[in-house]
Amino acid sequence: MDDPNTSGLPFSGSPVLPQTFDDSKLIQFQCRKGIACWNACCSNIDISLTPYDILRLKRRFETSSGEFLQRYTVPYEMEQNSIAGVKLRPVENGTACQFMTPEGCSVYEDRPTACRYYPVALLSLRRQDETTDRASYALVEEPHCLGHREPRRIIVSDYRKEQVLEEYDELARGWRQLILKKKSSGPSIGKPTKRSLELFFMACYDLDRFSQFVASEGFSNIYDLPPESLRNILCDDVELLQFAFRLLRQVLFGEETIPLRREAADERRLRLQDRKLRLEAEAAARRAAEQDGMYEDPDSGV
């Protein structure tokens, strides 16, 4: 099953049909137990997980996010040297999903967004001149999937309701917006530091470690959150996740989403000034060295 939960347009050769549509589109599809292709889609997986998918699954297994990530996922880079995503790890030496059983999906109530959408693909798009993303959809038609031949017709908005996708999309919206913003901002935002990329991974996917970070004294020394808000965030994983997206907008894009303590704000200002001066000095030194090289070179015969 290719991941139909994608944030870009389909590439040529992809099973995603090039026509995109809105959620009023009528499609013909049904997946049901007993169909001849039962489990074919789960036998060859390529499924990206949203932060909310991970939250649901780690809750189901009553495990920590760190253990879940280690056992059931593999990280990947969405773009070179940029933010990371997480995919479901197939069975050892195979391509099937670890959650597949002869009866079907063993985590059905908490199955990931991509599995819920299939065979519809969500295409979250954002133009450089737009501030909000737009959802459109496409249909994935893979030859092994016989669900397209079933007689049921359904409009995409009803299919999304049936698959509980409104909740899943709503709670992962902040994450999608971060990805779209990162992709559409290009060099104007600059290269994220290694630390901010690590924070992105922890805050989006390793929620238990992020919770410890938010509860730490170091965090409270920097961010000025009312004690009650902090308590609410730390008591509720879904709140914590939404807070993670807010914090990342501040760290990655400089949006002022969470107030800083005055001393921390002053320190940050000084640090940024220092960094700016250092970069300017380094650039000036480089220019001077290049000029020296140019004046020395004529006799060098090079």
Positions that interact with ligand SF4 (CB under 6 A): 1, 31, 35, 37-42, 45, 47, 97, 99-100, 105, 107, 111-112, 115, 118, 144-147
Instruction: Give least dist CB 96 to ligand SF4, A.
Output: 8
Q: Quick one: 67 or 103, whose CB is closer to ligand SF4?
A: 103
The smaller minimum CB distance to ligand SF4, of residues 120 and 248, is found at 120
Which one, 58 or 111, has the nearer CB to ligand SF4? 111
The span from the CA of 145 to the CA of 32, in Å, is 11
Alpha carbon 42 to its chain centroid, in Å, reads 22
| Shortest distance, position 208 Cβ to ligand SF4, whole Å | 21
1 close to 115: Cβ distance less than 8 angstroms: yes
Bond into 151 cis (ω within 30): no
Tokens 């805050």 sit on residue: 203
When the beta carbons of 45 and 120 are compared against ligand SF4, the nearer one is: 45
As a three-state string, the secondary structure of 134-187 is EEEEEEECCCCCHHHHCCCEEEHHHHHHHCCHHHHHHHHHHHHHHHHHHHHHHH
**CB 102 → ligand SF4: shortest distance, Å?**
11
Q: What minimum distance in Å lies between the beta carbon of 121 and ligand SF4? A: 13
Residue 115 CB, shortest distance to ligand SF4, in Å, is: 3
Structure-token pair, residue 301: 């015969």
Least distance CB 7 / ligand SF4 (angstroms): 19
DSSP annotation string for 183-227: HHHGGGS-PPPHHHHHHHHHHHH-HHHHHHHHHSHHHHHHB---H
Q: Between 10 and 147, whose beta carbon lies closer to ligand SF4?
A: 147
Alpha carbon 14 to its chain centroid, in Å, reads 21
40 or 125, CB closer to ligand SF4?
A: 40
